[in-house]
Amino acid sequence: MNKSKIREEILRIRKKNSSKNLKINFKSLFQILKKFKNTGKIIGGYYPYNYEVDAIPILKRLEKHNYQLSLPKIKKNSQMDFFRWSLKDPLDINRYGIPEPVSSVIKYPDILLLPLVAYDKDLNRIGYGGGFYDRYIERLKKKKKILLIGLAYSFQKVKKIPINKHDIQLDCIITNKLKILKN
């Protein structure tokens, strides 16, 4: 299957399962953060949209553990940057209907929590098709080392994601049932 067909199918399944109130196991995430303890304390999160895994409870717990939070803002030319954000801070709604921080302080995450539409056992992901995260990660990797953690539901796993040279493989994926780590 091509990416469009995978995306269409998994988005349909994700919407159908949205009432099940599935959650990511915070302990799994914290184990990964401990394993990569040389990574910094700036977390790039996201505000859930279109039935994505709700990252807000995770960000709330990370903030209590003294991690600095940041959320993305989409800019012109399909680019994005991450800006300082705390759970107490207000948000604006962007042109896609996604909440973004009002802060103008750019933060370069050490750890990036990524939403995804589908994934495979090789830690490849499909997003919505705009390439926002792939372009951002490519830019960020020129500045610093970054840990890429995908958040998904177990039913979003597919046999094989078709990849191209711009697709960036994740370091791990955490679901409501399991975690997959890069060897």
Higher pLDDT, 156 or 183: 156
The pTM for the full model equals 0.93
61-88 mean pLDDT: 93
pLDDT digits (tens, 9 = 90+) for 121-131: 999 999 988 88
Q: Is the pLDDT of residue 68 over 90?
A: yes
pLDDT for residue 78: 77
CATH number at residue 144: 3.40.50.10420
pLDDT digits (tens, 9 = 90+) for 40-65: 799 999 999 999 999 999 999 999 99
- Confidence band of 6 (pLDDT split at 50, 70, 90): very high
- Confidence band of 133 (pLDDT split at 50, 70, 90): very high
How many structural domains compose the chain?
Answer: 1
- Confidence band of 178 (pLDDT split at 50, 70, 90): confident
| Full domain range(s) for residue 152 | 3-181
- Confidence band of 183 (pLDDT split at 50, 70, 90): low
pLDDT for residue 38: 67
Place of tokens 């796993």: 157
145-157 mean pLDDT: 95
